[in-house]
Amino acid sequence: MIRIYKIYTLLLLSILLLASCKIGKSYVRPNLNLPDSLALEQDSVSFADEEWQMVYTDSILRNLISRALEYNKDMLMAGARVKELAAMKRIDFANMFPEFGLRVYGEQEGENYGGNNYDPDDQYDLKATASWELDLWGNLRWTRDASAAEFMASIENQRAVRMSLIAEVAQTYFELVALDNELSIVKQTVNARRESLHLTQLRYEGGLTSEVPYRQAQVELERTATLVPDLENQVTLKENELAFLTGEYPHRIPRSTLHEDVRLPETLPVGLPSTLLERRPDVRQAEQELIAANAEVGAALTGMFPQIRLTATLGTENDEIPRLLASPHYLITGLLTQPIFAMGKNRARLKAKRAAFERATYAYEKAVLSAFKDAYNAIAEFNKVKDIYESRLSLEQSSKSTMELAQLQYVNGVIGYMDLLDAQRVYLDAQIGLSNAIRDKQLTLVNLYKALGGGWQQPETKKE
């Protein structure tokens, strides 16, 4: 009875010690002094509430994004990292509880000293063991909190990779389509230059002009033709980039043509500043890393206090297997360890963790500043892109009319070839400028959606 009483006393003492204090400062989010609003009109609704399938309506682009989300190597690595830290979190959580084990041991040994007396020395053990480190000051709890925060940070990182990947695929796709359109414009211009060269050759051979306009037409044709291989190379590079994003080897990427009618939202709901922090997974990741750094400070602090580990063994041992159960025994031990002198190593570790927490604080503040910078830049681009497009459209239409008039006047001998050449050059630049303006409208939509934190929502469950 006395032995049982001692065992119960030890167990009760262990439970009380486990529920002891947790030394260290709990995490408190830094005071960020956020701006009052993101736009002139305050609205709790955000454009980022839309799912990416509703934002990007091109079926080919949707297919590319879906393939990238499934096969992109960065996405796969982020997913594997989540699994890794989930297992590590489980380990740190399990460390808070007793560990139980079983030991089965058999030894057969013969000793013969002097050569005349053979003496067997066998041993057989069957033991159950239990070991428990008491969390006196919260060291194990701090370690568990750090592991949990690192796990959450990996989830936010996966969401951030997903959000960035959707934007990167969309941006690369729109740039590829714009390059196709620019290449088509240049090829059409090359054909027009050939016609101009033929016309100037006829006028030169007919004695209507000197040789200079004819040679200028040749130079202009060759100068324009040099743009073709460079654009074709850029198209190939964009195709390879898209293939890489989708986790595939380089191949031709199917795509649609450039649509001039790119419709942007009539109104721009951007949400509240506080919701931006909740939507941006990169900001959420930075905060989880800050929480983990704070927990590591607590673990380093409590590591300087005494630690107690209880170990219990219950089993039997004998030198004969038939009599194994006839020799039961138990053993209960307690081990207390206290760092005393280590050349300042423990204090240095604590200082290092506090410095790491300070660095994580700045990293979190930087992530918040970066999020607001991205949002304000995207909103500013959205507010101006329509005006830029309208002005370039007007320029393209005016330069086209001017070029057509110049061609007519040149044929009738009213103006010289240089005047026609200037009009043609202006029209080519205006066409490319309009094509880029259409591309920029699409990219503005991509940047705005990403800056506001759209696109990170978890994918739908696949149907078997």
H-helix or E-strand spanning residue 356: helix 345-411
Q: What is the Cα–Cα distance from 100 to 104, expressed in whole angstroms?
A: 14
Burial of 57 (0-12, 13-18, 19+ CB in 10 A): exposed
HEC secondary structure over 429-441: HHHHHHHHHHHHH
Q: What is the Cα–Cα distance from 439 to 182, expressed in whole angstroms?
A: 11
Q: Is residue 183 part of a domain?
A: yes
Q: What is the Cα–Cα distance from 313 to 129, expressed in whole angstroms?
A: 4
Q: Could you tell me the residue range of the domain that residue 378 belongs to?
A: 2-108+134-306+353-451
**Sheet with strand 307-318: strands edge to edge:** 99-107, 123-134, 307-318, 328-337
HEC secondary structure over 128-150: EEEEEEECCCCHHHHHHHHHHHH
Per-residue model confidence as pLDDT tens digits over 27-85 = 999 998 888 888 766 677 888 889 999 999 999 999 999 999 999 999 999 999 999 99
Q: Is residue 313 part of a domain?
A: no
pLDDT at 311: 94
Q: What is the Cα–Cα distance from 438 to 329, expressed in whole angstroms?
A: 84
Pair 272, 363: CB distance under 8 Å: no
Q: What is the Cα–Cα distance from 205 to 199, expressed in whole angstroms?
A: 10
Q: Is residue 67 part of a domain?
A: yes
Centre a 10 Å sphere on the Cβ of residue 221 and count the other Cβ atoms it contains. 18
Pair 25, 130: CB distance under 8 Å: no
* Tokens found for residue 445: 């939509």
H-helix or E-strand spanning residue 68: helix 59-71
Q: What is the Cα–Cα distance from 325 to 126, expressed in whole angstroms?
A: 9
Category of 138 on φ-ψ map: left (φ > 0), alpha (ψ -120 to 50) or beta: left
Q: Is residue 242 part of a domain?
A: yes
pLDDT at 40: 61
Q: Is residue 86 part of a domain?
A: yes
The three-class DSSP label of residue 99 is: strand
pLDDT at 275: 86
Q: Token match 């303006």: residue?
A: 437
Pair 244, 169: CB distance under 8 Å: no
Burial of 144 (0-12, 13-18, 19+ CB in 10 A): buried
Q: What is the Cα–Cα distance from 109 to 429, expressed in whole angstroms?
A: 95
Q: What is the Cα–Cα distance from 126 to 316, expressed in whole angstroms?
A: 5
pLDDT at 3: 56
**CATH (domain of 299):** 1.20.1600.10
Residue 310 has φ and ψ, to the nearest 5°, of: -100, 135
Interior CA angle at 99 toward 96 and 104, to 5°? 170
Instruction: Please report which residue ranges of 107-265 form alpha helices under DSSP H.
Output: 139-205, 211-225, 227-245
The three-class DSSP label of residue 444 is: helix
Measured CA distances, 246 to 60, 103, 156, 375 (Å): 13, 52, 21, 27
Instruction: Please report which residue ranges of 246-329 form alpha helices under DSSP H.
Output: 273-279, 281-302
Measured CA distances, 352 to 240, 286, 389 (Å): 44, 19, 54
Q: Is residue 118 part of a domain?
A: no
Q: What is the 8-class DSSP label of residue 19?
A: T
Residue type, 212: V
Judging by DSSP bridges, how do beta strands 118-120 and 110-112 pair with one another?
antiparallel
Q: What is the Cα–Cα distance from 113 to 102, expressed in whole angstroms?
A: 35
Q: What is the Cα–Cα distance from 308 to 286, expressed in whole angstroms?
A: 35
pLDDT at 460: 46
* Tokens found for residue 305: 């206090």
Q: Is residue 129 part of a domain?
A: no
Residues of the chain with confidence (pLDDT) below 50: 1-2, 5, 459-464
Q: Is residue 324 part of a domain?
A: no
How many structural domains does the chain have? 1
